[in-house]
Amino acid sequence: MKTSLAFLLAALAAVSVARGASKLSVVASHSLDAARPAETLVVPWSEVRKHLPDAAPDKLVVKDAQGRVLTYQFTNFQPEDKTGRYDDVLFQYTFAAGEKSATFTIERSSIPVPPVATKTFARYVPERLDDFAFENDRLAHRMYGPGLDTPAAGKSRMISSGIDVWTKRVAYPVIDRWYLRGHDNYHIENGEGLDFYSVGTGRGCGGTGVWDGAKLHVSHNWKTWKVVANGPVRTIFELGYAPWEAANGVKVTEVKRFTLDAGHNLHRVESTFTFEGAPGLVVGLGLGKHKDVPAAVDRNAGGWLTQWEKYPKATEGELGTAVALESGPFQEFVEDDLNQLALVRVASGVPVRYALGAGWSLGSEFTSAAKWNTYVAAEIARLRAPVKVAVTPVP
């Protein structure tokens, strides 16, 4: 009897393997002792299709070890490819302090999984002089486009590649709502937050420029844009900048690739500078200064820079900003009239990876410079120790 049962089980297993796995086991592990809230886990689509050959990206069910269904997102960075070259399956999990690994399952769904409320979002805003705006459930930003440097902008006309901050009290998206209200109206608190941060021609919250040893050379407004993923868990987009003259007459171009995840106040950026006539350049990652706004600046030898500003109006409160090098040869901190800068040496065509973001005293847990700096340090430790994901089939 036992022999017959063993033979039957072996035969069933062989048939299951021949037909492909019934589901996937995903084990995510990391090396930190600290908690990792809202960690985005990335499973390559190639791994899914290898074991579930008939899987469709919008017909999946992702569960944690307790059987709870998790929100997931699939990405397609080449939507013009007719063969459907999908890239990744993304979902989020919060690791408790000391929890070094967690197990999940991915299986097929017989019907399409309906969309869920998005937590990350980005779009080109032609109705407001070519702004480009992006947000998650924590905060929002915008960057200025070519329309702002035209006569149509009137008195608002400006050349600036700095990064603006919009503070939020709410977790839902506000970009479309605020633009619909009109430019001057989202400078007024209405219960959702407001835009009180001033970029001007400085670097704002994490803008870049080329440092020649005494002066920062910056680009004009962005020239090109491309959204490659847009929530609900992660948004990825690129902004391209036309050539400008940097140190010693060298012409340089830049492409910024942003990765914006739900649940975080810092966003990852890859900036690729392309130039000829120099073996390398020094790039400044900046935080803008604001006249008559008291600020505490913290320069960490690990390669990150924070600023905590106390604004005069009760509706504005206090604001922390940060720019932090994730990888690359950090050099030193300097400042000019408009910015605090962290300097990093770059090679042509080689991305420099860093993070930028902000935290508001009236819309989050960041009620002091100490709390903001502690958060930034934890986020940088998290980014520098990525989670590893292993996928195995379950017959």
Q: Quote the pLDDT of residue 20.
A: 63
pLDDT tens profile 255-265:
999 999 999 99
Alpha-carbon dihedral sign for residues 166, 172, 175, 179: negative
Strand partners, 143: 132, 163
**pLDDT-above-90 percentage for the chain:** 89
Instruction: Give the residue, 19 or 174, on which the prediction is more confident.
Output: 174
Say yes or no to pLDDT of 369 above 80.
Answer: yes
pLDDT in tens, 101-149: 999 999 999 999 999 999 999 999 999 999 999 999 999 999 999 999 9
Cβ-based burial of 166 (10 A; exposed 0-12, middle 13-18, buried ≥19):
buried
For residue 177, what pLDDT is reported? 96
Class of 21-112 in CATH: mainly beta
Q: Does the pLDDT of residue 12 top 70, yes or no?
A: no
| pLDDT(82) > 60 | yes
Convert the pLDDT of each residue in 211-264 to its tens digit: 999 999 999 999 999 999 999 999 999 999 999 999 888 999 999 999 999 999
| CATH 2.60.40.1180 segments of the chain | 21-112
- Give the pLDDT confidence of 45-60 residue by residue, as tens digits: 999 999 999 999 999 9
> CATH top-level class for 121-364?
mainly beta
- Please give the pLDDT value at position 395: 87
**339 to each of 202, 281, 293, 317, 329, how far by Cα in Å?**
6, 19, 13, 21, 20
Residue of 260, 259, 220, 212 lying closest to 240 (CA atoms):
220
What pLDDT, on a 0 to 100 scale, did the predictor assign at position 8? Answer: 39
pLDDT higher than 90, residue 4: no
> Which of 105, 45, 55 lies closest to 76 in space, CA to CA?
45
- Dihedral of CA 309/145/227/329: which sign? negative
Closest CA to 265 of 139, 123, 142, 352: 139
Residue 383 pLDDT: 96
- pLDDT recorded at residue 3: 42
pLDDT of residue 7: 40
What pLDDT does residue 10 have? 42
For residue range 262-289, list pLDDT tens digits in order.
999 999 999 999 999 999 999 999 999 9
Give the pLDDT band of residue 17 (cuts 50, 70, 90).
very low
CB 324 within 8 A of CB 305: yes
What does the pLDDT look like over 292-342, one tens digit per residue? 999 999 999 999 999 999 999 999 999 999 999 997 789 999 999 999 999
Spatial separation of the C-alpha atoms in residues 176 and 135, rounded to whole Å: 11
Whether the per-residue pLDDT at 5 is higher than 60: the answer is no
Q: How confident is the model at residue 1 (pLDDT cuts 50, 70, 90)?
A: very low
Q: How far apart are CA 126 and CA 273, in angstroms?
A: 26
* The pLDDT of residue 19: 53
At which residue do the structure tokens 């913290």 appear? 298
Following CA atoms 125, 128, 131, 134 in sequence, which dihedral angle do they give, to the nearest 10 degrees? -60
Please give the pLDDT value at position 327. Answer: 75
Q: Where in the chain is the domain with CATH 2.70.98?
A: 121-364
Determine if the pTM surpasses 0.75: yes
- Comparing CA positions, the residue from 66, 172, 50, 61 lying closest to residue 120 is 172
